[in-house]
Chain A
Amino acid sequence: MQRILLFLYSLRAFLLFVFLEAIAIWLIVSFNSQQGSAFFNSSNQFSGKILGAQNNISDYFSLAEVNKRLLDTNAELLAALEVLRKPADSVYIQLDSAFESSFEFKGAKVINNSIRLSQNHLTINKGANQGIKPGMGVFNGQGVVGRVKGVSNNFATVISLLHTDLLVSSKIESSEVFGSIKWDGNNPKFAKMLYVPRHVKVQKGDKVVTSGYNAIFPEGIAIGTISEVKQGADTNYLDITVELSTDFTRISYVYLVENTVEQELDSLYNSSGISNE
């Protein structure tokens, strides 16, 4: 018995190594999934505060760029508003609540971002106290950014579109053909569009937007433009490369969108036995 104990004691460094390595692997396996807890990542209070302080400084260097973007967005919105403005001599009737918007929008600031790994995340400076919930869609003026993964009281982590596990339901705007956008891990400017059948005629330069089918994003938010179409190795589907419209190297402010009827949709899907993505 004593010999066994002595033997184990002589191996103590190795045993500690195995033990700690096992903890690390357990952390990798259980916290890197898409729906992770918010405790062990950059959205917890401690790292969120430090990242926020850093961002307060580095923010000044991108202010000019952000201002220009906001101005562009403003101009676009003003143009869109002009179309909707009611002429003074017309009467409007409320048709049906079914046509009302079921999406709510919020704004937030990005305080941490990565693009070079194969599973990238962002951290934003709003959390549960400001009404952010896991699963909300994230986009900015240019296009889709990602999806909220975990929230703490004042911060939230977002799975970037540049994450090899994130699928975004999308469609080609001109032909209304559906597919899924997935990043292949190579270049942060390009992603792949999956599940577009071979018989579909796809043009280089076609716009790709969100489809509104997966209840995260409203329909029609830009994702990118098709830059390359190949026949690909798969016999059923085309190999389409999409140039992303979002410039992930300089994201500073984002919008979050919440689908207010998502619960209703989910329970409907559940009760009828369909799984939605």
Chain B
Amino acid sequence: MNSSRIFILIGSFIIFTLVQVLILKNLVLFGVAFCFLHVLFILLLPIETKTIPSLLIAFGLGLMVDLFYDTIGIHTASLLIVAFIKKPWIKILTPTGGYDDNLQPSMLNMGFGWFATFSVPLFLIYNIAFFFIESLGTDLFIPVVQKIIASTIFVFVMSIIVQLLFYRRRRGI
């Protein structure tokens, strides 16, 4: 990984955080569909990223988002789960012939089908963890399930749009 890619990663970290807390925080469709697009940043870390760096990045990103959502620790805990199971999950999904080096697991590089099987379960796990912890101590089962399903669909659609608009093949932003 050369230094220009590290700068691109840092830049997209800041952009993802700012977009999340300044714009997407106020965007809740129909009162149930939240857009936690910052999860996409963790998903799009290069395939060869080890689990330990992704855990540390997820911890930092989660804390930043939590600061602005006033949900201290909840985003962090959910994001850590995603960062931890991302690597094994990528290994399970290895296509025949393996991955190229330095590849970003984005839709443009891997194709829509692969990206859907890769990202939807991770988004789902994130939303389940977040809304479950967030509603602990209340007896809101049906609304929580609605929120989980609606948010997963919404964030998946948003992540496809963002990748089509701002990402190029084989490279970062």
Residues of chain A touching chain B, judged by Cβ–Cβ distance below 8 Å, are 12-14, 16-17, 20-21, 23-29, 31-32, 36, 40-42, 44, 46-47, 50-51, 54, 112, 114, 116-119, 121, 123, 157, 164-165, 184-186, 188
Contact = CB atoms under 8 A, between A and B. Distances in A.
Contact of A28 (B59, B69, B74, B80): B74
A54 B22 contact: yes
Given A16-B55, A17-B51, A116-B31, A27 B70 contact: no
Given A118-B138, A185-B143, A157 B70 contact: yes
B76 A24 contact: yes
Residue picked from A23, A117, A165, A185, most chain B C-beta under 10 Å: A117
Interface of B: 21-22, 25, 28, 31-32, 34, 50-52, 55-56, 59, 62, 66-74, 76-77, 80-81, 83-84, 133-135, 137-138, 140, 143
Given A13-B52, A54-B22, A42 B70 contact: yes
A142 B31 CA distance: 22
Contact of A186 (B70, B134, B140): B140
A17 B55 contact: yes
A119 B71 contact: yes
A37 B138 CA distance: 23
Q: What is the interface of chain B mostly: helix, strand, loop, or mixed?
A: helix
A119 B80 contact: no
Contact of B55 (A13, A26, A36, A51): A13
B133 to A, nearest CB: 7
The 5 closest A-B pairs by CB, nearest first: A27-B73, A28-B73, A24-B77, A121-B70, A13-B51
